[in-house]
């Protein structure tokens, strides 16, 4: 699990870090400034850790390994938000 940039998120989705077994990319608004933050979840981690964290607000799934981009993810990755 880790915070990543939008560019790294795109790399993960295209398989660049497949050896690390990423399974989910999410966004959330962080508790410090409310800014949009990208994060990756790996196969060996608790998949809902961000959803359960009081520091992460408005957690939304961008991409999952078995299903690809979500409708939210398609909109977000085609926008300038989160750059």
- The predicted pLDDT at position 36 comes to 94
- The predicted pLDDT at position 82 comes to 56
19 SS3 class:
helix
Model pTM? Answer: 0.87
- The predicted pLDDT at position 81 comes to 61
- The predicted pLDDT at position 32 comes to 87
Do residues 37 and 45 lie in contact, with contact meaning Cβ atoms separated by under 8 Å?
Answer: no
Q: Which residue has the higher pLDDT, 8 or 1?
A: 8
Write down the residue that tokens 């390994």 correspond to: 65
CA distance linking residue 38 with residue 52, whole number of Å: 16
Phi, psi of 6 (to 5 degrees): -60, -40
- Condensed to tens digits (0 to 9), the pLDDT of residues 21-77 reads 999 999 999 988 889 999 999 999 988 899 999 999 999 999 999 999 999 999 999
């Amino acid at each position: 699990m880790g915070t990543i940039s939008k560019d790294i998120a795109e790399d993960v989705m295209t398989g660049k870090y497949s050896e690390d077994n990423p399974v989910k990319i999410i966004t959330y608004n962080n508790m410090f400034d409310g800014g949009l933050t990208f994060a990756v979840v790996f196969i060996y981690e608790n998949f809902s850790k961000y959803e359960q964290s009081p520091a992460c607000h408005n957690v939304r799934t961008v991409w999952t390994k078995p299903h690809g981009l979500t409708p939210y993810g398609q909109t977000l990755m085609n926008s300038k938000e989160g750059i």
